[in-house]
């Protein structure tokens, strides 16, 4: 009789172990599937990096004054994202006061396109001037606080070989910035050609 009871218990135990194992595996699979689902949802909800974050504060319409070798000027400028936000378009118009070298004054216009070069991980600015110059700049420095941005020329078309240019932007606040434009002749250091002070149009 005892042998029969033991035999019966052994039979029950042998039948129960696979069931328990099956339930345990099912629970583990359910937990893993839940974790994977949560991870995938987290990745999907993670916001994409804003490529234009370092320059986004420039977007908008600005007006200001300029001073330098060409004389005093009043400046109108606009920065806007175009072509599905792939490029930052810049349109600039400077009207210079009359001076001895230019008794009737002077009007200067230039257009620019800023793009982000993914291979170099740098902003590139191409600038087209009414005088025929085409400047290509690269973002060579940005301060840790993001308030100072420097573009240095890589090439300039329609000017003697060896000339370089540099533009430095300093944000004074969300609605105000300064710009310094420098030129260097062949083998020479940069010299300030003009500087401007801009405020956002209301």
What proportion of the chain, given as a percentage, has pLDDT over 70? 82
Q: What are the pLDDT digits (tens) for 60-73?
A: 999 999 999 989 99
- 180: enclosing H helix or E strand: strand 176-184
CA contacts within 13 A on the Cβ side of 58 = 23
- 3-state SS assignment for residue 71: coil
Quick one: pLDDT at residue 35? 67
Which of the four pLDDT bands, split at 50, 70 and 90, describes residue 59? very high
- Residue 102: DSSP 8-state: B
Gap between the Cα atoms of 146 and 158, Å rounded: 33
Q: Where are the domains of the chain?
A: 1-46, 56-200
Of 129, 130, 134, the closest CA to residue 153 belongs to 134
- 19: enclosing H helix or E strand: helix 2-45
Gap between the Cα atoms of 116 and 52, Å rounded: 8
Mean pLDDT, the chain, rounded, equals: 88
Q: pTM here?
A: 0.75
Q: What are the pLDDT digits (tens) for 146-182?
A: 999 999 999 999 999 999 999 999 999 999 999 999 9
Tokens of 193: 């050609």
Of 146, 156, 199, the closest CA to residue 175 belongs to 199
Quick one: pLDDT at residue 14? 47
* CATH no. for 56-200: 2.40.128.20
Task: List Cα–Cα distances, 199 to 52, 63, 172, 174, 176, in angstroms.
Answer: 20, 6, 10, 9, 4
């Amino acid at each position: 009789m005892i042998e029969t009871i033991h035999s019966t218990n052994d039979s029950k135990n042998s039948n129960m172990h696979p069931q328990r194992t099956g339930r345990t595996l099912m629970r583990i699979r359910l937990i893993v599937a839940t974790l994977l689902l949560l991870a995938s949802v987290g990745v999907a909800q993670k916001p994409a990096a804003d490529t234009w974050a370092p320059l986004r504060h420039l977007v908008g319409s600005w007006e200001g004054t300029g001073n330098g070798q060409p004389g005093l000027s009043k400046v109108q400028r606009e920065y806007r994202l175009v072509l599905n936000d792939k490029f930052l378009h810049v349109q600039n118009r400077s009207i210079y006061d009359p001076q001895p070298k230019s008794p009737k004054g002077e009007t200067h216009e230039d257009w620019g396109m800023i793009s982000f070069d993914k291979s170099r991980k740098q902003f590139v600015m191409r600038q087209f001037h009414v005088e025929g110059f085409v400047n290509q700049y690269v973002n060579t420095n940005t301060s840790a606080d993001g308030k100072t941005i420097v573009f240095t020329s890589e090439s300039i078309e329609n000017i003697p070989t060896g000339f370089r240019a540099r533009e430095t932007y300093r944000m004074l606040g969300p609605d105000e910035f300064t710009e310094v434009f420098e030129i260097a002749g062949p083998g020479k250091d940069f010299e300030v050609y003009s500087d401007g002070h801009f405020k956002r149009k209301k």
